Chain A
Amino acid sequence: QKEVEQNSGPLSVPEGAIASLNCTYSDRGSQSFFWYRQYSGKSPELIMFIYSNGDKEDGRFTAQLNKASQYVSLLIRDSQPSDSATYLCAVLSGGSYIPTFGRGTSLIVHP
Chain B
Amino acid sequence: NAGVMQNPRHLVRRRGQEARLRCSPMKGHSHVYWYRQLPEEGLKFMVYLQKENIIDESGMPKERFSAEFPKEGPSILRIQQVVRGDSAAYFCASSQGGSNTGELFFGEGSRLTVL
Contact = CB atoms under 8 A, between A and B. Distances in A.
Interface of A: 4, 6, 8, 32-34, 42-46, 49, 88, 90, 92, 96-104
A98 B56 contact: yes
A87 B12 CA distance: 28
For chain B, the bracket of interface size reads 20 to 34
A103 B100 contact: no
B43 A98 contact: no
Contacts of A92: 99-100, 102
B24 to A, nearest CB: 14
Interface of B: 4, 31, 33, 35, 40-45, 48, 55-56, 91, 98-109
A103 B43 CA distance: 7
Contacts of A46: 103-105
A90 B102 contact: yes
Contacts of B98: 97
